[in-house]
Amino acid sequence: MIEVKNLYKKFGQNEVLKGLNLDISNKGIFTILGPNGSGKTTLIKSILGMVIPDSGDIIINGENVKKQWDYRLNIDYMPQIANFPSNLTVNELFDMIIDLRIEEKRKDELIKLFGLSEFLTKKLGTLSGGTNQKVNIVLSFMFDSPIIILDEPTTGLDPVSLIRLKDLITSEKEKGKTILITTHIMDFVEQISDQIVFILEGVIYFRGTVNELKEKTNQENIERAIASILTDTYA
């Protein structure tokens, strides 16, 4: 479904992606990991068309997306930071995004799931960070697209909302969707990931399951496995 071929990207003299290749042809939950500056955010934004690579190709559902835009209608994206217009109410934001896209499929269901009913008429600038994140989640799942990209989706969530998010992501996977996630929460990675894609210095260093990563590094948990990779690389 998503194929990245020989992707290069520089910002000034900083070479962020160095011929990165990634093929995600099966469905499931793929967690993209890597230290700050490794290229994971640049990869995601390249897939979304928010960053234009210097060279290389991105192919989605068999079509090269270079200079295209309509493929993004089939991708739901949750940014790490929800910079919503502070003067809009939650309902006004939902209506605006629906007008820009297609008919929503499950807004009311998600509003109920994350307890947002009492906040619908409140201005976004008055909401807590955790409540804004719940609004972010509703926006990211209400269009029922086949590809979902979530950038640090757990930020600011209370324990109950975190459990509901995990269940929601799992249910979307069971529908046959492809889900890409970036996160620094290793417990979340271990509980939800079908495969890990570990990016280091602009290339794919590892791709496989959590257990395969532990075996490769001879470590008992994912935190130590990641630390082992970084220690060996930068020693």
* Least confident residue range of 33-42, 83-92, 110-119, 192-201: 33-42
In 3D space, the residue among 173, 172, 190 whose CA is nearest the CA of residue 113 turns out to be 172
**Cβ distance 115 to 134 under 8 Å?**
yes
In CATH, what number is assigned to the domain containing residue 82? 3.40.50.300
| pLDDT higher than 80, residue 102 | no
Position 86 confidence tier, pLDDT thresholds 50, 70, 90: very high
Task: Give the model's pLDDT for residue 150.
Answer: 96
Position 168 confidence tier, pLDDT thresholds 50, 70, 90: very high
| pLDDT higher than 70, residue 116 | yes
> How large is the average pLDDT for residues 178-192?
92
Task: Give the model's pLDDT for residue 234.
Answer: 58
Torsion of CA 211, 215, 217, 218, to 10 degrees: 120
| pLDDT higher than 70, residue 235 | no
Chain segment 123-155, per-residue pLDDT in tens: 999 999 999 999 999 999 999 899 999 999 999
Chain segment 32-84, per-residue pLDDT in tens: 999 888 899 999 999 999 999 999 999 998 899 998 888 888 899 999 887 89
Provide the domain limits for residue 86: 2-234
Give the number of C-alpha atoms closer than 13 A to the C-alpha of residue 1, restricted to the C-beta side: 18
Question: H or E element: which one contains 141?
Answer: helix 129-141
Q: How many domains is the chain partitioned into structurally?
A: 1
What's the whole-number average pLDDT of the chain? 92
The pTM score is 0.92
Task: Give the model's pLDDT for residue 82.
Answer: 78
Q: What b/e string do you get for 186-222 counting C-beta neighbours within 10 Å, with b at 16 or more?
A: bebbbebbebbbbbbbbebebbeebeebbeebebeeb
Chain segment 198-221, per-residue pLDDT in tens: 999 899 999 999 999 999 999 988
> How large is the average pLDDT for residues 163-180?
96
